Amino acid sequence: MQSLLSTLKVRGFQLKNRIVMPPMATELATEEGHVTDELIEHYVNRCKYLGLLIIEHSYVSIEGKISPRQLGIYNDKLIDGLKQLVNEVHKYMKPVVIQINHGGGKASSKITGIKPIAPSPIMVPGGVEEPKEMTLEDIERVLEAFEKAAKRAIEAGFDGVEIHGAHGFLLNQFTSPITNKRLDAYGRTMEGRFRFPLEVVEKIRKVIGNKLLLYRLGADDMMPGGLTIKESRIFAAKLESLGVDIIDVSGGLCGSRPAHLTGQGYFIPLAEKIREVVEIPVIGVGGIKDPEFADKVIREGRVDLVAIGREMLRDPKWAEKAVNKLKGK
Ligand SMILES: Cc1cc2nc3c(=O)[nH]c(=O)nc-3n(C[C@H](O)[C@H](O)[C@H](O)COP(=O)(O)O)c2cc1C
C-alpha cells in the first residue's frame, strides 16, 4: 500500500515522497518579473522535505501578466535569475518544476499597458475589463510564447514545467463554454474548445525532451453553464495521450478557492474522477491541513500525490513536521 511517505517514479525522476507544494503566487519578483533573493529564500525555506515543488505561475508574455510583482518567464533576460532559484533548490531536492501561465482576459491593461486578449470578447469572471477576441495570429503568437517559456524553463535547469490550465486564466478560458463563444476551429464544439490548450501541450512536450510535463487542470468551472467533470475526463485522457506526466487537479473559473467549498480535501473528489480515466499520477488539493488526512487519501488510493498550499505558506516546516510525525518521531 502506498502512503504519503512512499516514493514515486515519474519519467526517470524519483520523488522522495508524495508531498507537493502547489504553485502559489508570492508577489516577490521584481516589477519586471525577475527572481529576487526573497523569492529564493521563500522556496528554500519550504522545499527540503517535499516530493515535488511547483514554483508559482510565471507569465509567458507581458500581455498575460496578472499582478505587478508576478514572476516572469517571457524573456531570455529572466533566465539567469531562474537559474539561481533552481540551483538553490537543487541543493536540497528534486524535482522542481515551474508553472507557466497566460492570464488572457483576466489580465488588465493597467498592469500590462496592453488590452487583454481572450477567446471571446466577453468579460471573464474575475476579470477587470472586456478583452479583445484573439485572432488566429494571436493564437499562433501565444502558442509560441508558451513554447519559448518552456524552453527557458529547461535552460534555467528546471526539471519540468506545469502548464496552467485552471482558475479562469487563458487556457481555462478556451476550455470553458462560459468564456469561449468562438465559432471557428477553436470553439463551437467541445473538441474546438479543447484545441488550443492541447496544441500548447503538444508543442511543449516536443521542446522539453525528457523533462516532466504537468498540467494544472481546471476540472470543473463550478459555475452554471461552465465546464464540468464529464468533459474534463475526456480532456484528461487527451492530456495523457499527448505525453503529460502528472495531472494536477484543481477547479473554479473564478479562482482556486471557491467560497462554497470547505473542509479538508475539497478537490479530492474531482481528482479521483480524473484518476479513474488515466494511468498517470494525479495530484489532489484543497484545504488540507493534517498530515494524517493527506496520508489517508494516498493510502485509500484516491490520489497519487497531495498538494498543501496555504498551510505551507503559514508554516514553512509543514512538510518536515508531517514526515517526522508519520514516521512516528
Ligand atoms: C496566495 C496564493 C497564490 C496562489 N497562486 C497560484 C498560482 O500561481 N497558480 C495556481 O495554479 N494556483 C495558485 N493558487 C492555488 C493553490 O495552488 C491551491 O490550489 C489552493 O490554495 C488550494 O490549496 P490549499 O487549500 O492547500 O491552499 C494560489 C493560492 C494562494 C493561497
How far, in Å, CA of 190 to CA of 234, rounded? 10
Q: In degrees, to the nearest 5, what angle opens at C-alpha 237 toward C-alphas 233 and 242?
A: 145
Instruction: Report the pLDDT averaged over residues 224-248.
Output: 98
User: Which atom, in ligand 1's list, is nearest to the CA of 266?
Assistant: 25
The answer as to whether 125 is a domain residue is yes
Phi, psi of 45 (to 5 degrees): -65, -20
Which structural domain, as residue segments, surrounds residue 93? Answer: 8-326
Q: Which residue has the cell 465559432?
A: 183
Q: Assign 222 to helix, strand or coil.
A: coil
**Does 1 fall in a domain?**
no
Closest Cα to atom 10, ligand 1: which residue? 23
Provide the 3-class DSSP secondary structure of residue 86. helix
Instruction: Tell me, in angstroms, the distance from the centre of ligand 1 to residue 250's CA.
Output: 9
Among the atoms of ligand 1, which is closest to the Cα of residue 99?
9
Ligand 1 centroid from CA 309, angstroms: 6
Residue 22 C-alpha to ligand 1 middle, in angstroms? 7
Residue 265 pLDDT grade (very low, low, confident, very high; cuts 50, 70, 90): very high
Q: What is the dihedral of CA 176, 254, 28, 204, to 10 degrees?
A: -10
Task: Supply the mean pLDDT for the chain.
Answer: 97
Q: Which three cell numbers stand for residue 175?
A: 476550455
Grid cell listed for 186: 477553436
Angle at which helices 190-207 and 229-241 cross, to 10°? 30
Any domain includes 132 = yes
Binding-site residues, ligand 1, Cβ < 6 A? 22-25, 56-57, 99, 164, 166-167, 216, 250, 256-257, 285-288, 308-311
Nearest-CA residue for atom 2 of ligand 1: 24
**Residue 25 Cα to ligand 1 middle (Å):** 7
Is 3 within a domain?
A: no
Can you list the positions of beta strands (E) in 102-142?
117-118, 132-133
pLDDT tens per residue, range 270-327: 999 999 999 999 999 999 999 999 999 999 999 999 999 999 999 999 999 999 999 9
On whether the pTM is more than 0.95, the answer is: yes
- Among residues 11, 18, 13, the alpha carbon closest in space to that of 302 is found at 18
Q: Whose CA is nearest to atom 15 of ligand 1?
A: 256
Report the percent of the chain where pLDDT is more than 90: 96
Predicted confidence (pLDDT) at residue 255 exceeds the cutoff of 90: no
pLDDT per residue as tens digits for the range 115-161: 999 999 999 998 999 999 999 999 999 999 999 999 999 999 999 99
Using CA positions, which residue lies closest to atom 24 of ligand 1? 309
**Angle made by CA atoms 151, 155, 161, in degrees to the nearest 5:** 55
Residue 284 lies in a domain: yes
Mean pLDDT of the 28-48 span: 98
The ligand 1 atom at the shortest distance from the C-alpha of residue 256 is 15
> What band does 329 get if pLDDT is binned at 50, 70 and 90?
low
Say what the pLDDT of residue 3 is: 98
- Give the residue whose CA is nearest to atom 18 of ligand 1: 309
The answer to whether the CB of 16 falls within 8 A of the CB of 7 is: yes
Best residue for ligand 1 mutational test, from 24, 102, 247, 312 (most atoms within 8 Å of Cβ):
24
Q: Which residue puts its alpha carbon closest to atom 29 of ligand 1? A: 24
* Centre of ligand 1 from the C-alpha of residue 256, in Å: 6
Look up the CATH number of the domain holding residue 42.
3.20.20.70
The Cα 65–Cα 146 span in angstroms is: 13
Residue 15, in any domain of the structure? yes
Q: Looking at residues 41-58, what average pLDDT do you find?
A: 98
Number of domains observed in the structure of the chain: 1
What pLDDT does residue 256 have? 78
Residue 118 lies in a domain: yes
**Cell reading at 285:** 488539493
The answer to whether residue 57 sits within a structural domain is yes
* pLDDT value at residue 275: 98
